Amino acid sequence: MPVIEVQSLSKEYSGRQVLKDINFRVQNGEIFVLVGPNGAGKTTLLRILDLLEEPTKGRFLIDGAPVNYSARDRAALRRRIGMVFQQTVLFNMSVFDNVAYGLKVRGENGKSVEQKVRDALEVVQLAGFEHKNALALSGGEAQRVALAQAVVTEPELLLLDEPTANLDPRNVSIVEETLSRVNREGKTTMIMATHNMFQAENLAHRVAVLNEAMIEMIGTFQEIFGKPSRFLIDFARLENVFSGVSKVSPEGTSVIDVGEGLRIEATFQKVGNVTFYVPPEDIVLSTRQLVSSARNTFEGRIVQISDLGSVVKLRVRAGKEFIVQITKRSFNEMQLNVDSRVFLTFKASSVQTNLNFSQKEKTTST
Amino acid sequence: MINNTFLEEILNITLLSLRVSGTAVLIGALIGVPIGTILGLGRFRGKQFLMRFVDITLRSIVNTFMGLPPVVVGLVVYLLLTASGPLGPLGLLYTPTAMIITQLIMAVPIITGVTMSAVGSVERAIREKALSLGATDRQAAWMVLREARMGVLTAIIVAFGAAISEVGGIMITGGNIRWVTRTLTTAIVVETNLGNFDLAISLGVILLFMAFIINLVLTIIQLRGPRR
């Protein structure tokens, strides 16, 4: 039985269509991730699910019962739902009182509140912060308190609007760990909006791609990534996807000019326009130029670091932007940081064209 | 030189000033804070034309009345309370009650206006946050008011400062009767006119000192205010 069901939901703001005919079901205990660019309607959808806004058309059902947006008991319904906003908002009071607020408004008091708040702060790794003023916290700590505020009420449905935007890698991984744990232990259903494809890959049971007010596709991360639309490549920059003009070299490999002075060598033989993909885990990252059999070596600088727990994904600008995945241990040993100079090396055989792109791929073999 | 009666009179005058202005501001806060909160929350700002109209009208009235000239208030209250006026039978003219009413009329718009802007400046996100954590509309409004507490306190202190130093209104409605309705400000006016400068100066120093204390408290509160 689906716990959450959205049926042909639309939202208009003074004539502008923000959400158009949204339909999906989220199963009990599922993590459902909304991905899409800014302005796609993710935030509005979450606000409607949190009953902060009314849909213009359509229905939102919890356990088969349609939500009545004009009902007087909206507060009672909201008490089954938790929400973490993108912009961290905390009350000007102690961390303890902030986290306890959700319980207090539900009429809970005394020892049980104290225990629950302590547990929630422990989960977000902020034990001992109880008596600090919430406004004196760093951005990452504040967002973790916001997460604790929502988690402490043990919601049946947890809504998360880009909960890790603007956080550093350490805080991102604490938030992600908390979410997995809450989902695993509490069987909490989650709907999360994110920009971060790695996060979608790590956490999502299913992903919905939201673009220009509509859901373009729904499926598992693999289902969607096995068949990326041009939009998804653009948005997610399904990283390491490049297009260029390919020529066959005398050695029998292809050399593809992708612009920015970048020529990538591949083992396939194709001539003309080609779109291809280099798996992040196939790229070797080094701080010095390697002498190896690999045909492709580029120099670049790290522009972004995403900590995913045991592995770290790096965005490296080397003419084009590459995504490289390395272990946390290597990352620490190499003492990498944003703007570090690095070399990327990968074999010609790692360059793949066997992605089933729906559009744009006009590979010509002559 | 300084005898007991002199000190006793100064004490009487000071206490009456505090009692009249304090009572006016206390009642004014009970009226002004809730109205200011409702206006500040923008709960009238519905889609319907009537709601918008009510909201805009109330705001304009509050803003106009914040700068109400005390003598005009005094005049109006006088006309209401005078023996031949509509409230004449109550016999309130030239009593501390009449003075409290006068200052109350001036304090309510100040407290309402400052509370309104303090509540209005609390981010909408605070209310939504409270709601999303399961608060009822009333609990969420209370949280917004709590976040605006520095502004509300400022409203009350500003109103008290205005009331304690006001003279035109209470002079008319209180009548500046010795031992009965004579306050610091009205006494200074009279004693200066009579040439009793020693008394006038003493009262002036007390008034100045009270104004200083009010501003000291306000400054301390503002310095301790939230870092946002």
Q: What is the DSSP string of A25-90?
A: EEETT-EEEEE--TTSSHHHHHHHHTTSS--SEEEEEETTEEP-TT-TTHHHHHTTEEEE-SS---
User: Phi and psi for A311 in degrees, rounded to 5?
Assistant: -120, 160
Between these two residues, B181 and A240, which has the higher pLDDT value? B181
Rounded mean pLDDT, A72-100: 91
In a domain, A362, yes or no: no
Instruction: For residues A349 and B159, give the distance between their C-alpha atoms in angstroms, rounded to a whole number.
Output: 79
**Token representation of residue A280:** 């992040």
Q: What do you get for the CA distance between the two ends of chain A, in Å?
A: 54
Residue A366 has pLDDT above 60, yes or no: no
Minimal C-alpha gap between A307 and chain B (Å): 29
In a domain, A301, yes or no: yes
Decide: helix, strand or coil at residue B89.
Answer: helix
pLDDT band with cut points at 50, 70 and 90 for residue A244: confident
pLDDT band with cut points at 50, 70 and 90 for residue A228: low
- Option in A87, A136, A153 nearest B133 (CB): A153
Quote the pLDDT of residue A106: 94
Residues A327 and A341 in one domain: yes
What does DSSP say about strands A189-194 and A157-161: parallel, antiparallel, or unpaired? parallel
Quote the pLDDT of residue A132: 93
User: Any idea what DSSP says for residue A94?
Assistant: B
For a pLDDT cut of 70, what percent of chain A falls above it?
A: 91
Residues A223 and A244 in one domain: no
Which range in A270-279, B96-105, B208-217 is most confidently predicted, on average pLDDT? B96-105
Residues A254 and A207 in one domain: no
Quote the pLDDT of residue A365: 35
- Option in A89, A105, A136 nearest B134 (CB): A105
Quote the pLDDT of residue A235: 53
Decide if B118 contacts B73 (C-beta within 8 A): no
Residues A176 and A245 in one domain: no
Phi-psi region of B216 (alpha: psi -120 to 50; beta: other; left: phi over 0): alpha
Give the domain CATH number at A267: 2.40.50.100
- Tell me the H-state helices in chain B: 4-41, 49-66, 70-81, 96-121, 124-132, 137-147, 149-164, 168-174, 184-194, 197-223
List the domains of chain B with CATH numbers. Answer: 4-122+149-223 (1.10.3720.10)
Between these two residues, A257 and A309, which has the higher pLDDT value? A257
In a domain, A293, yes or no: yes
Rounded mean pLDDT, B127-146: 93
**Listed residues A235, A255, A282: the one ending a domain:** A235
In a domain, A361, yes or no: no
Cβ of B129 and A89 within 8 Å? yes
Helix axes of A95-104 and A139-151: crossing angle, nearest 10 degrees: 20
**Listed residues A200, A219, A235: the one ending a domain:** A235
- Residue with structure tokens 């509309």? B137
Residues A197 and A342 in one domain: no
In a domain, A226, yes or no: yes
Instruction: For residues B111 and B37, give the distance between their C-alpha atoms in angstroms, rounded to a whole number.
Output: 10
Candidates B116, B101, B102; CA nearest to B63 is: B116
Quote the pLDDT of residue A222: 76
Give the domain CATH number at A71: 3.40.50.300
Residue B27 has pLDDT above 90, yes or no: yes
- Residue with structure tokens 């999906």? A24
Residue A110 has pLDDT above 80, yes or no: yes
Residues A211 and A341 in one domain: no
Residue type, B116: M
Instruction: For residues A160 and A172, give the distance between their C-alpha atoms in angstroms, rounded to a whole number.
Output: 13
Residues A8 and A26 in one domain: yes
Residue type, A125: Q
Residue A361 has pLDDT above 50, yes or no: no
Burial label for A20, CB within 10 Å (0-12, 13-18, 19+), is middle
pLDDT band with cut points at 50, 70 and 90 for residue A356: very low
Encode pLDDT of B45-75 as tens digits: 556 778 788 888 888 888 888 888 999 999 9
Give B134's contacts in chain A (Cβ within 8 Å): 75, 78-79, 102, 105-106, 153
Rounded mean pLDDT, A11-22: 91
Minimal C-alpha gap between B98 and chain A (Å): 40
Quote the pLDDT of residue A167: 82
Residues A62 and A188 in one domain: yes
Instruction: For residues A208 and A215, give the distance between their C-alpha atoms in angstroms, rounded to a whole number.
Output: 7
A34, A294, A325, A354 from A234: Cα distances, Å: 16, 28, 20, 18
**Token representation of residue A187:** 């069987």
| A→B interface, C-beta within 8 Å | 50, 52, 75, 78-79, 81-83, 85, 87, 89, 91-92, 101-102, 105-106, 135-136, 149-150, 153
Instruction: For residues A82 and A143, give the distance between their C-alpha atoms in angstroms, rounded to a whole number.
Output: 14
Instruction: For residues B76 and B89, give the distance between their C-alpha atoms in angstroms, rounded to a whole number.
Output: 16
- Option in A87, A101, A136 nearest B133 (CB): A101
In a domain, A325, yes or no: yes
In a domain, A127, yes or no: yes
Residue A1 has pLDDT above 80, yes or no: no
pLDDT band with cut points at 50, 70 and 90 for residue A357: very low
Minimal C-alpha gap between A70 and chain B (Å): 13
Lowest mean pLDDT among A24-33, A102-111, A238-247, B78-87: A238-247
Give A149's contacts in chain B (Cβ within 8 Å): 133
Rounded mean pLDDT, B140-162: 92
- Residue with structure tokens 């109880």? A130
User: Any idea what DSSP says for residue A17?
Assistant: E
Instruction: Give the number of other Cβ atoms within 10 Å of residue A115's Cβ.
Output: 10
- Provide the number of structural domains found in chain A: 2
| Mean of the per-residue pLDDT values of chain A | 85
Give A112-127 as a DSSP string: HHHHHHHHHHHHTT-T
User: Phi and psi for A14 in degrees, rounded to 5?
Assistant: 35, 60
Quote the pLDDT of residue B46: 57
Between these two residues, A245 and B107, which has the higher pLDDT value? B107
Helical (H) or strand (E) element with A333: helix A328-333
**Token representation of residue B40:** 């500040």
Encode pLDDT of A37-67 as tens digits: 778 899 999 999 999 999 999 999 998 889 8
- The residue of chain A nearest to residue B227, with distances taken between CA atoms, is A135
Decide if B68 contacts B106 (C-beta within 8 A): yes
Cβ of B132 and A78 within 8 Å? yes
Burial label for B155, CB within 10 Å (0-12, 13-18, 19+), is buried
- Option in B123, B126, B135 nearest A105 (CB): B135
Give A171-193 as a DSSP string: HHHHHHHHHHHHHHHH--EEEEE
Rounded mean pLDDT, A215-220: 90
Quote the pLDDT of residue A330: 86
Residues A346 and A229 in one domain: no
Residues A191 and A66 in one domain: yes
- The residue of chain B nearest to residue A104, with distances taken between CA atoms, is B135
In a domain, A359, yes or no: no
Cβ of A83 and B132 within 8 Å? yes
Instruction: For residues A282 and A347, give the distance between their C-alpha atoms in angstroms, rounded to a whole number.
Output: 8
Give A52's contacts in chain B (Cβ within 8 Å): 128, 131-132
Residues A177 and A140 in one domain: yes
Please write down the long-range contacts of B3-7, taking CB distance under 8 Å and 24 or more positions apart: B6/B199
pLDDT band with cut points at 50, 70 and 90 for residue A364: very low
Candidates A196, A211, A201; CA nearest to A180 is: A201
| Mean of the per-residue pLDDT values of chain B | 89
What length is written for chain B?
A: 228
Best probe of the B interface among A13, A48, A105, by most B CBs < 10 A, is A105
Domain coverage including residue A329: 239-350
For a pLDDT cut of 90, what percent of chain B falls above it?
A: 65
Give A136's contacts in chain B (Cβ within 8 Å): 227
HEC letters along A230-279: HHHHHHHCCCCEEEEEEEECCCCCEEEEEECCEEEEECCCCEEEEEEECC
Lowest mean pLDDT among A81-90, A98-107, A190-199, B148-157: A190-199
pLDDT band with cut points at 50, 70 and 90 for residue A360: very low
Quote the pLDDT of residue A338: 85
Give B118's contacts in chain A (Cβ within 8 Å): none
Residues A23 and A86 in one domain: yes
Residue A170 has pLDDT above 90, yes or no: no
Quote the pLDDT of residue A232: 54
What does DSSP say about strands A262-266 and A254-259: parallel, antiparallel, or unpaired? antiparallel
Candidates A87, A124, A82, A85; CA nearest to A101 is: A82
Give A83's contacts in chain B (Cβ within 8 Å): 132
Instruction: Give the number of other Cβ atoms within 10 Å of residue B1's Cβ.
Output: 4
